[in-house]
Amino acid sequence: MRLASIRTEAGPALGVGSRAGDTVVRVDVIDPDAPTDILELLALPPDRLRRLSDRADELAGRGGPGVLSVDEAPLSPPVPRPSKVVCLALNYRAHAEEGGFTPPERPVLFLKGPHTLTGHGADIVVPPLSRRIDHEGELAVVIGRRCKDFDGEDWQGAVAGYTMMNDLTARDLQLADIAAQHPWDLSKNFDGFGPVGPWLVTPDEVPDPQALDLEVRVDGLLRQRGSTAQMIFGVRELLVRLSAVMTLEPGDLIATGTPDGIGEVPDGSVVEVRIGDLGVLRNRVTHTPILERKQNQ
């Protein structure tokens, strides 16, 4: 099942994706009594969820009110308000080596604030502080139930679903902070530097999260290509290791790291992240002109 969050004039609404993944149908059009929270919706009985999915497929073929193209719908992140966004650095051996780092023996973490999250199709506006923005396509795991000191048993049951993230990075600021031996959180935490979506895809459609192809394209040109099989720490191990030091709450996001091939996103370019059959996450990145900053001072 594919679920999305849609912005409307009346507030957020949920959508169910067609099986083809090109159309989203508002849940309140299908079932007005359905929950408006995505995690509450996923807690409904399986037969009711199945009816929602089947009805969405029917309506997607006919069109009408509440039926939108996924590329035209005003989408928010599938889970818009996680308590935390936990990101993995150097979780692909080749990516660690391309940066001159030794592949780690334990997960290397950093956090992105929820303010960085934005949806599929949103424009990312970079402030004048940075002139070098890099793409980093990643598989993201959405936590489905509270995990503390998790032993890894039935780990699939702890996952609400999977989505995609582009972990945008102000590389010029990051490298300067690394050289100065300063923390480099700033480079990861500009507004909108965590595009996510378009879908939350439920685990029944992703039987093995360690067997997904990953591609990133910039203006149609292939930049990154890898497989989640190349992760140093897979999803199950991450749930165990992370829950040993922090409580994972429902709706939390774990961005599992990026393969090699990271690179610059030129001003005005469109970045596309594709992972397995999860869909395509697409966003344009534009730079605020330095001149504009001077005029506003």
Q: Which residues pair with 140 in a beta bridge?
A: 163, 255
Rg of the chain (C-alpha set): 19
Query: In the predicted model, what is the mean pLDDT of residues 98-122?
Result: 92
292 has a pLDDT exceeding 90: no
Task: Write out pLDDT tens, residues 145-166.
Answer: 999 999 988 899 999 999 999 9
Instruction: Please write down the HEC assignment for all residues of the chain.
Output: CEEEEEEECCEEEEEEECCCCCEEEEHHHHCCCCCCCHHHHHCCCHHHHHHHHHHHHHHHHHCCCCEEECCCCCEECCCCCCCCEEEEECCEHHHHHHCCCCCCCCCEEEEECHHHEECCCCEEEECCCCCCEEECEEEEEEECCCECCCCCCCHHHHEEEEEEEECCEEHHHHHHHHHCCCCCHHHHCCCCCEEECCCEECHHHCCCCCCCEEEEEECCEEEEEEEHHHECCCHHHHHHHHHCCCCECCCCEEECCCCCCCEECCCCEEEEEEECCCCEEEEEEEECCHHHHHHHC
Give the residue extent of every domain in the chain. 2-75, 79-296
Task: Write out pLDDT tens, residues 229-263.
Answer: 999 999 999 999 999 999 999 999 999 999 999 99
What's the CATH code, domain 79-296? 3.90.850.10
Q: Quick one: tokens of 40?
A: 């509450």
Q: What are phi and psi of 7, to 5 degrees?
A: -85, 130
pLDDT score recorded for residue 113: 95
Integer Cα distance of 71 and 205 in angstroms: 21
pLDDT score recorded for residue 179: 94
- Please list, residue by residue across 264-284, b when 16 or more beta carbons sit within 10 angstroms of its beta carbon and e when fewer do: bbeeebebbbbbbebbbbbbb
Q: Work out the pLDDT band at 61, boundaries 50, 70, 90.
A: confident
Q: Work out the pLDDT band at 103, boundaries 50, 70, 90.
A: confident
pTM of the model as a whole: 0.94
128 has a pLDDT exceeding 80: yes
